[in-house]
Amino acid sequence: MTHSMDLDVVGWGPAHASAHAVLVHYSRWGRILRAVEGFLVVWAIALPMLLVPTLIIPVVANALALSIFLFVVRLRASEVAKVVRGTCPDCGHTQFFDVPTRFRVPLEVECQQCSRGLKLEEAIGEQAPVSVA
Ligand SMILES: [Zn+2]
């Protein structure tokens, strides 16, 4: 299920700016399928590399670690941000913010223009559904 969220962007100064996030909410089974998908994608990429005998040990070790990491991260991420777009309150630059897989507010981000730390907070009373998938 996809929905949107309006956010406040708080910078160093007293001024606030706004941001808009498009989020996907995954159910329990959706999270499990997504976690299994991440696990399998890592091994689908790693398996052809196992044909090279000298790469077997490092590929297996790294693929195992990455696939378990992706599985756990995706299993725990019930809200995933597809797009977070907003304006820096300090320099006025409008940008797409880099956010982690697991989206929770408040969230610390960085302005790509002035490199200052910003905080995304939920705007009070503004949340509208976009579509239901
Ligand atoms: Zn900025």
Q: For 30-71, how does the pLDDT look when each residue is reduced to its tens digit (9 = 90+)?
A: 999 999 999 999 999 999 999 999 999 999 999 999 999 999
34: helix, coil or strand?
helix
Three-state SS for 35-76 is: HHHHHHHHHHHHHHHHHCHHHHHHHHHHHHHHHHHHHHHHHH
Flag the least confident range among 23-32, 49-58, 124-133. Answer: 124-133
Q: What residues have a C-beta under 5 A from ligand 1, the ion?
A: 88, 90-91, 111, 113-114
- Please state, as a whole number, how many other Cβ atoms lie within 10 Å of the Cβ of residue 35: 20
Boundaries of every domain in the chain: 2-26+78-126, 28-76
pLDDT digits over 73-83, tens only?
999 999 999 99
Going from the Cα of 3 to the center of ligand 1, the distance in angstroms, rounded, reads 26
Please state the pTM of the whole predicted model. 0.71
* Dihedral over Cα of 87, 127, 108, 106: its sign: positive
